[in-house]
Chains A and B, each alone.
Chain A
Amino acid sequence: MDDEMEACVPTPSRELTQNPLKKIWMPCKKNGLPEKHIFQRKVCMTNCPTLIVTVGLPARGKTYISKKLTRYLNWIGVPTKEFNVGQYRRECVKIYKSFEFFRPDNEEGLKIRKQCASAALNDVRQYLTEEGGQVAVFDATNTTRERRETIMRFADQNGFKVFFVESVCEDPDVIAENIVQVKLGSPDYRHCNTEQAVEDFMKRIKCYENSYEPLDEVLDRELSFIKIIDVGRRYLVNRVLDHIQSRIVYYLMNIHITPRSIYLCRHGESDLNVKGRIGGDSGLSSRGKAFACCLAKFIHAQDIPDLKVWTSQMKRTIQTAEALGVPYEQWKALNEIDAGVCEELMYEEIQQRHPLEFALRDQDKYRYRYPKGESYEDLVQRLEPVIMELERQENILVICHQAVMRCLLAYFLDKTAEELPYLKCPLHTVLKLTPVAYGCKVESIFLKVEAVNTHRERPENVDVTRMTEEALLTVPAHQMSTCTGLRRPPYRLYLLTSDPTVGPPTLAGLTPCSRGPDL
Chain B
Amino acid sequence: MEARRAQIRKRVRCESTASVPQFTNSPTMIVLVGLPARGKTYISKKLTRYLNWIGVPTKVFNVGQYRREAVRSYSNFEFFRPDNEEAMKIRKACALSALKDVSAYFTQDHGQVAVFDATNTTRERREVILSFAKEYGYKVFFVESICDDPEIIAENIKQVKLSSPDYVNCDKDEAVADFLKRIECYKVTYVPLDDDCDRNLSYIKIFNVGSRYLVNRVQDHIQSRIVYYLMNIHVTPRTIYLCRHGESDLNLLGRIGGDSGLSSRGNKFAAALGKYIRSQCIPDLKIWTSHMKRTIQTAEAVGVPYEQWKALNEIDAGVCEEMTYEEIQEHYPEEFALRDQDKYRYRYPKGESYEDLVHRLEPVIMELERQENVLVVCHQAVMRCLLAYFLDKSADELPYLKCPLHTVLKLTPVAYGCKVESVFLNVEAVNTHRDRPVNVSVDRDPMDALLTVPDHS
Contacts and interface: CB of A to CB of B under 8 A. Distances in A.
Contacts of B195: 234
Contact of A392 (B211, B224, B231, B359): B224
A353 interface: no
23 contacts: A9-B268, A10-B268, A10-B301, A11-B271, A13-B300, A13-B301, A18-B293, A217-B212, A233-B216, A234-B214, A234-B216, A236-B212, A236-B213, A237-B212, A239-B211, A250-B228, A330-B18, A332-B19, A333-B19, A343-B350, A378-B310, A389-B18, A392-B224
Nearest to A385: B19
A234 B194 CA distance: 12
Contacts of A236: 212-215
Given A237-B231, A385-B19, 11 more contacts: A5-B426, A9-B268, A16-B261, A16-B296, A234-B195, A234-B215, A246-B231, A250-B231, A254-B224, A313-B17, A332-B17
A246 B271 contact: no
Given A10-B270, A24-B291, A239-B211, A16 B300 contact: yes
Contact of B231 (A9, A249, A333): A249
A25 B293 CA distance: 6
A238 B211 CA distance: 6
A25 B292 contact: yes
Contact of B15 (A13, A37, A246, A313): A313
Interface stretch (A38-46, A154-162, A407-415): A38-46
Interface in A238-291: 238-240, 243, 246, 249-250, 253-254, 281
B267 A10 contact: yes
Interface string B351-368: 000001001000000010
Nearest to B366: A246
A7 interface: yes
A37 B224 contact: no
B309 interface: yes
Contact of A331 (B19, B211, B227, B427): B19
A29 B25 CA distance: 57
B275 interface: yes
Interface centre among B221, B300, B306, B356 (most CB of A within 10 A): B300
A10 B297 CA distance: 12
Given A10-B270, A236-B213, A381-B310, A253 B300 contact: no
Nearest to B216: A234
Contacts of B367: 45, 243
B149 to A, nearest CB: 13
Nearest to B364: A41
Interface residues of B, number: 53
A8 B305 contact: no
A14 B271 contact: no
Contact of B427 (A8, A16, A221, A249): A8
Contacts of A4: 426
B407 to A, nearest CB: 15
A14 B321 CA distance: 27
A27 interface: yes
B221 A392 contact: yes
B100 interface: no
B269 to A, nearest CB: 8
Interface in A1-60: 4-5, 7-11, 13-14, 16, 18, 23-25, 27, 37-41, 45
Nearest to B217: A233
Interface in A318-350: 327, 329-333, 343
B268 A5 contact: yes
A235 interface: yes
A246 to B, nearest CB: 6
Chain B contact residues, majority secondary structure: mixed
Ranked 4 nearest A-B pairs via Cβ: A10-B271, A329-B18, A8-B272, A235-B215
Interface of A: 4-5, 7-11, 13-14, 16, 18, 23-25, 27, 37-41, 45, 217, 221, 233-240, 243, 246, 249-250, 253-254, 281, 310, 313, 327, 329-333, 343, 372, 378, 381, 385, 389, 392
Given A24-B291, A236-B213, A332-B356, A7 B18 contact: no
A343 B316 CA distance: 15
Nearest to A330: B15
B22 A329 contact: yes
A249 B204 CA distance: 14
A13 B291 contact: no
Contacts of A385: 19
Contacts of A25: 291-293, 296, 308
Contacts of A39: 305, 307-308
A338 to B, nearest CB: 9
Contacts of B309: 41
B425 to A, nearest CB: 8
Interface string B248-275: 0000000000000100000111111001
A246 B370 contact: yes
A310 B19 CA distance: 11
Contacts of B214: 234-237
Given A238-B212, A330-B15, A7 B275 contact: yes
B176 interface: no
A40 B297 contact: no
Nearest to B307: A41
Interface in B294-350: 296-297, 300-301, 305-311, 321, 350
B291 A14 contact: no
A240 B231 contact: yes
Given A25-B291, A236-B212, A246-B370, A41 B310 contact: yes
B232 interface: yes
B440 interface: no
Select the residue from A13, A45, A239, A250 with max chain B CB neighbours within 10 A: A13
Contact of B270 (A13, A18, A235, A250): A13
Most chain B beta carbons < 10 A, residue from A9, A237, A254: A237
A45 B307 CA distance: 10
Contacts of A250: 228, 231
Contacts of A333: 19, 359
Nearest to B296: A25
A41 B310 CA distance: 8
B305 A37 contact: yes
B457 interface: no
Contacts of B212: 217, 221, 236-239
Interface in B187-204: 195, 199
Contacts of B267: 10, 13
B218 interface: yes
B280 interface: no
Contacts of B268: 5, 8-10
Contacts of A389: 18, 221
A253 B215 contact: yes
Given A13-B270, A14-B300, A253-B215, A38 B231 contact: no
A239 B208 CA distance: 11
A310 B18 contact: yes
B16 interface: yes
Interface in B1-38: 15-19, 22, 24
A27 B305 CA distance: 11
Contact of A253 (B227, B275, B291, B307): B227
Contacts of B261: 16
A4 B275 CA distance: 11
A319 to B, nearest CB: 14
Contacts of B269: 8
A385 B361 CA distance: 12
A146 to B, nearest CB: 24
A332 B308 CA distance: 23
A16 B297 contact: yes
B381 to A, nearest CB: 16
Nearest to A1: B268
